[in-house]
Amino acid sequence: MHIGLCSPHWPPSLGANGIVSYVAAVRDHFIARGHEVSVISQERLYASDGSAVPLAARGAGRIMASIGEKFARLREDAKGALPEVGRNVARQIAAAHQIRPFDIVEMEESFGWSERAGRAIAAPVVTRLHGPQALKPPRHLTDEELRDERDRCAAEARAVRSAPVVTAPTQAIMAGACRSYGRDPAQTSAVIANPIRLRANTPRWSLEGADPDHVLMVGRFDFWKGADTMLLGFEHLLRLRPHARLTMVGPDEGLETRPGERLSFEQFAEARLSPEVRARITYRGLLKPAEILPLRMSAMATVISSRWENFPYILLEAMAAGSPLVSTDWPGADEIVVDGRSGLLSPVADPAPLALALDRLLGDPQRAAAMGQAARDRCAAEFSLEVVGDKLLDCYARTIAPAGCRP
């Protein structure tokens, strides 16, 4: 097969992003299985051999794109979030298809762009649910942001309803998207996890190398990642364990506290935390994976405090390393973490239970280590690149064949 994969940026070294991590993993697996893979990103086509070709629409592709845009405007399809970007993405995919026709293309549902891509080429376009906007919990938005949100959800709904095949990493995401976006559950779909590479030489967490008081949280400082839940939960934890310390890693994008207002880490800490609590917290900002690794190895527990997630790589990376972990119980979390066995789940946006879960891990190092090992074993059995990658290839083959992909 010649498989097309769309990525927000490429190569992966340009920055951290869950979709990029996913594309990088499956691309390598597909190539290893003998398939040709092209990555479409930022107006370039990256071939299996790593070469890059600019994707300026040309010839018949430019004419067809122009005609398609006129029809789209007549049908008012230009409405929705970032429609001009969506049209440009479709043009890039059409230009790539001209260079070397695809058998199948996979891209995310964001902003409904996959619908435009599906109209741009004859090959099937699989819509991969990386984070449907309609499933995310309410947050503090201005009236203009609310309008944009509604437009984005409407555009995504059209794309999800019309897609020949939809895949999702969890059953919770699939069911929620079908319900919210009006896709018939009987339509062709497949629940396939996000994969992670497991290498024999990957550093492993060990109880001997961990600081019994050290807690690590990796994720953006923002509303979705539950930065406030983590900080206020840590404040609760210090009442139980005065010697605990927290390291936070991730870019500071500001925490929404009311419409149009975001507080930085320093602003939130100054407003909500005592100097004593603040002194036990180290905020490192954005770090490279190689810089995060020693922090994970030294922490007694890794925390995912998000209000909502899809199938986050930061969780998979902690599991693959065998790190004990606590995660908030966003929809689908229990399909990844077996509560009490491969980690602990805590209610979303509730600091006190998060602190109690951390106290349980820190207070029982042997049990924490056993959970970390169980998490790594689960990764190997359910989420390894070999297991998941072959499921995706099987889905693609069924999509190309008349029978389609089985639910």
pLDDT at 390 over 80: yes
Q: What is the pTM of this model?
A: 0.89
- Token representation of residue 237: 């934890």
pLDDT recorded at residue 141: 85
pLDDT at 73 over 50: no
- Token representation of residue 340: 């009490």
- Per the DSSP assignment, residues forming a β-bridge with 252 are 221
User: Quick one: residue 355, left, alpha or beta (phi over 0 = left, psi -120 to 50 = alpha)?
Assistant: alpha
pLDDT at 404 over 80: no
pLDDT at 392 over 60: yes
Q: How far apart (Å, rounded) are the C-alpha atoms in residues 142 and 26?
A: 38
Fold of 2-195+384-400: Rossmann fold (3.40.50)
More confident residue, 99 or 79: 99
pLDDT recorded at residue 14: 83
pLDDT recorded at residue 260: 85
Mean pLDDT of 133-155: 91
Mean pLDDT of 322-336: 98
pLDDT recorded at residue 67: 38
For residue 27, CA distances in Å to 42, 50, 147, 334, 393 come to 17, 11, 36, 27, 11
Question: What's the whole-number average pLDDT of the chain?
Answer: 91
Mean pLDDT of 139-146: 87
Angle between helices 113-120 and 59-74 (to 10 degrees): 130
pLDDT in tens, 243-252: 999 999 999 9
pLDDT at 56 over 90: no
Fold of 211-383: Rossmann fold (3.40.50)
pLDDT recorded at residue 80: 43
Highest mean pLDDT among 15-24, 71-80, 197-206, 348-357: 348-357
pLDDT in tens, 153-205: 999 999 999 999 999 999 999 999 999 999 998 899 999 999 999 988 888 99
**With contact defined as beta carbons under 8 Å apart, do 52 and 41 qualify?**
no
Angle between helices 59-74 and 83-99 (to 10 degrees): 150
Domain ranges in the chain with CATH number 3.40.50.2000: 2-195+384-400, 211-383
- Per the DSSP assignment, residues forming a β-bridge with 285 are 249
pLDDT at 62 over 60: no
Q: How far apart (Å, rounded) are the C-alpha atoms in residues 79 and 202?
A: 47
Mean pLDDT of 64-83: 44
pLDDT recorded at residue 231: 98
**Per-residue confidence at 405, pLDDT binned at 50, 70, 90?**
low
- Per the DSSP assignment, residues forming a β-bridge with 263 are 255
**With contact defined as beta carbons under 8 Å apart, do 96 and 105 qualify?**
no
pLDDT recorded at residue 72: 40
| Per-position b or e across 217-253, b if 16+ CB within 10 A of its CB | bbbbbbbbbbbbbbbbbbbbbbeebeebbbbbbbebb
pLDDT recorded at residue 58: 46
**Per-residue confidence at 406, pLDDT binned at 50, 70, 90?**
very low
Backbone angles phi, psi at 150, to 5 degrees: -65, -40
pLDDT recorded at residue 402: 64
Look up residue 137 and give its amino acid.
P
pLDDT recorded at residue 16: 72
Mean pLDDT of 56-65: 45
Residue 56 neighbours by CB under 8 Å, 6+ apart: 43, 95
pLDDT in tens, 361-380: 999 999 999 999 999 999 99
Percent of the chain with pLDDT over 90: 82
**With contact defined as beta carbons under 8 Å apart, do 177 and 170 qualify?**
no
pLDDT recorded at residue 208: 96
pLDDT at 140 over 50: yes
How many Cα atoms within 13 Å fall on the side-chain side of residue 346? 27
DSSP string, 245-308: EEEEES-B--EEEETTEEE-HHHHHHHHS-HHHHTTEEEEES--HHHHHHHHHHEEEEEE--S-
